[in-house]
Chain A
């Protein structure tokens, strides 16, 4: 079992609220990722980080923002949630220096977000 945690697991909020999804890992991994996944669909990369003070946007455009002040912590924030943000958000981390080679990503349990 990977040591990567996400809170909350489920969140139901109203439109316009500001929310922060928490992600923490205790493996000392440099790389961390946020994915968005809708039912029956593939995971889409929305943010990633190479390490502290590094954040990049992924393939799928997202109105969310991320920060990486500490190695173990990679929170995702939505300033004003909308129903279109309803989805499952998965956080992951990996260790390898080379992004592509043998880079197992360890996933958290996910946060199921519903915006009414």
Chain B
């Protein structure tokens, strides 16, 4: 069964600190993996995308890693800011079916305190 599991479910950190969010998936055959940021009451916005051959991708203070062998990804946030408070969703796309659907994790709810 194709699944995406994220941990931790929620995380509280102080402003300026770093944190790492985890994503494990069983989606096969794998096409790509995205991290989305979803602010409260808003739609998700894509942060990074990685394909099978990529193992790291940065977008400002966000750095995503991918280990396609172990089917794990992480999102590292450096020097956190209050505006980083949001849900971070791991989304994996398959390429096997004619549909090529997306599989969503439940997200990690990050809260940054001043």
Contacts and interface: CB of A to CB of B under 8 A. Distances in A.
Interface residues of A, number: 26
Interface string A50-61: 000000000100
Taking residues whose C-beta sits less than 8 angstroms from the other chain, chain B's interface range is 20 to 34
Interface string A2-26: 1010000100000000000000000
B93 A41 contact: no
B94 interface: yes
Interface stretch (A62-70, A71-79, A99-107): A99-107
Contact of B100 (A44, A92, A100): A100
A38 to B, nearest CB: 10
Interface in B26-53: 31-32, 34, 41-46, 49, 51
A105 B89 CA distance: 13
Interface stretch (B59-67, B70-78, B102-110): B102-110
Nearest to B99: A99
Nearest to B36: A107
Contact of A107 (B31, B43, B49): B43
B100 A99 contact: yes
Contacts of B105: 42
Interface of A: 2, 4, 9, 40-45, 59, 90-92, 98-105, 107-110, 112
Interface of B: 4, 9, 31-32, 34, 41-46, 49, 51, 89, 93-95, 98-102, 104-107, 109
Given A45-B101, A101-B32, A101-B93, 17 more contacts: A40-B9, A42-B104, A42-B107, A90-B44, A92-B43, A98-B100, A99-B101, A100-B93, A100-B100, A102-B51, A103-B93, A104-B34, A104-B49, A108-B43, A109-B41, A109-B42, A110-B41
